[in-house]
Amino acid sequence: MSKVRQQLSDVRLVRGDLLDQGSLISAVERVQPDEVYNLAAISYVPMSWSQAELTGEVTGLGVLRVLEAIRVCSGISASRTPGRGQIRFYQASSSEMFGQVRESPQTEGTAFHPRSPYGVAKVYGHFLTQNYRESYGMYAVSGILFNHESPRRGAEFVSRKVSLAAAKIKLGLDRQLRLGNLSASRDWGFAGDYVRAMQLMLVQEQPEDYVIGTGVTHTVQSLVERAFEVAGLNWRDHVVCDAAFIRPAEVDQLCADASKARQRLGWEPATKFEDLVTMMVESDLELLSAPGGLADDSFGHDVW
Ligand code: G4F
């Protein structure tokens, strides 16, 4: 049995729905966890304009429901009677909360100015996590994570859309890549490095929030240039700008100052942008070259 299969067979799935308070209480009661990581959300920013209410329910109020499930199952009453033991809670906050940035790079103290219903919902979840920490003494923290990518990234996000397109064009399976704003900049890191940071945040003496990012920012165009270079292609021969992918309000530039995480958690990103893009393009070339590699028809389709 492969290592991944072995690990998956150790995983027990328990049903729960962020829209259903009772299901979350049942899940926490049943599992009796030491740690809860809330990574669930409607996370694709453009979808948050077309389904703004659902985004508020899932990405925003969903955080309230998880925190309430932990509070109730820990026996913490609304008047703050001490509970049984402590379930530690991690909330996936997002650099999208900085939106139209007030300063650069962004730290834990930078004011928020979200630019999408998604960003607004994340700000609600962020402050609610802080509020439960202050109101109930819960070990509840937010990681303000900047964009983190890997070969497992969904095909609707720009990094994977680009790596898949470069691989498809290289293999003669496609000819063109249609993109929106090429001049937006993001601080892209490797998801594996960021998961390490999440775990570190839950094993500290004091619960605190942390910014996690590389401190280096690149434009979408440089992402495209790098991906096509890895595939041995000239991006200018294939990339077309399409207004359909321009957002109603854009986050122009994000760049993390993760000094606090470096000093207090001893966390450093291990993967550079160039290596991340190379890893993604090579993985997609391998995937698409394998028999049945194109079986998943969702590859390369933007869900707008
Ligand atoms: O890859 P993206 O869709 O990621 P975005 O919007 O920055 O959000 C991601 O990172 C956040 C962390 O900061 C998470 F909270 C969030 O859940 C998600 O994981 O877009 C990145 C940039 C944007 O500026 C977008 O306008 O790429 C630009 N872009 C240009 N053309 C495109 C495209 N994005 C997508 N998805 N598709 C395009 O064709």
Domain ranges for the chain: 10-145
CB 248 within 8 A of CB 183: no
Ligand 1 atom 16, closest CA: 43
Query: Using 50, 70 and 90 to split pLDDT, how confident is the model at 8?
Result: confident
Alpha helices in the chain (DSSP H): 3-9, 21-31, 47-50, 52-55, 62-73, 117-136, 158-170, 191-201, 220-230, 259-260, 273-289
Peptide bond into 33 cis (omega under 30): no
Q: Count the residues in the chain.
A: 304
Is the Cβ atom of 94 under 6 angstroms away from ligand 1?
A: yes
- Catalytic residue IDs: 94, 96, 118
Cβ of 271 less than 6 Å from ligand 1:
no
45 lines ligand 1 (CB under 6 A): yes
Q: Whose CA is nearest to atom 3 of ligand 1?
A: 157
pLDDT at 302 exceeding the cut of 60: no
CB 121 near ligand 1, within 6 Å: no
The mean pLDDT value for 41-66 works out to 98
Cβ of 239 below 6 Å from ligand 1: no
Strand 185-186 to strand 218-219: parallel, antiparallel, or no bridges (unpaired)?
Answer: antiparallel
Among 38, 45, 116, 247, residue to substitute to test ligand 1 (most atoms within 8 Å of Cβ): 45
Mean confidence (pLDDT) of the chain? 94
| Assigned token pair, 151 | 């070969």
141-197 residue pLDDT tens: 999 999 999 999 999 999 999 999 999 999 999 999 999 999 999 999 999 999 999
Amino acid type, 295: A
3-state SS assignment for residue 239: strand
- pLDDT tens digits, 61-85: 999 999 999 999 999 987 765 555 6
Mean pLDDT of 15-26: 98
Rounded to 10 degrees, the C-alpha dihedral 209/192/39/285 comes to 140
Q: Read off the tokens for 144.
A: 């303000």
- Given a contact cutoff of 8 angstroms between Cβ atoms, the answer to whether 192 and 271 are in contact is yes
Q: How far is the CA of 15 from the centre of ligand 1 (A)?
A: 29
Taking the centre of ligand 1 as the mean of its atom positions, its distance from the CA of residue 157, in whole angstroms, is 6
Q: Specify burial of residue 163 (Cβ count, 10 A radius: 0-12, 13-18, 19+).
A: buried
Output the pLDDT for position 233: 98
Query: Is residue 181 within 6 Å of ligand 1 at its C-beta?
Result: yes
Q: Is 149 touching ligand 1 by the criterion CB < 6 Å?
A: no
Paired strand residues for 91 = 38, 142
Give the model's pLDDT for residue 295.
Answer: 58
Q: How far is the CA of 186 from the centre of ligand 1 (A)?
A: 8
Selected residue with higher pLDDT from 2 and 256: 256
Q: Which of 106, 65, 110 is nearest to 89 (CA)?
A: 65
Q: Which fold has domain 10-145?
A: Rossmann fold (3.40.50)
For ligand 1, mutation pick of 55, 158, 224 (most atoms within 8 Å of CB): 158
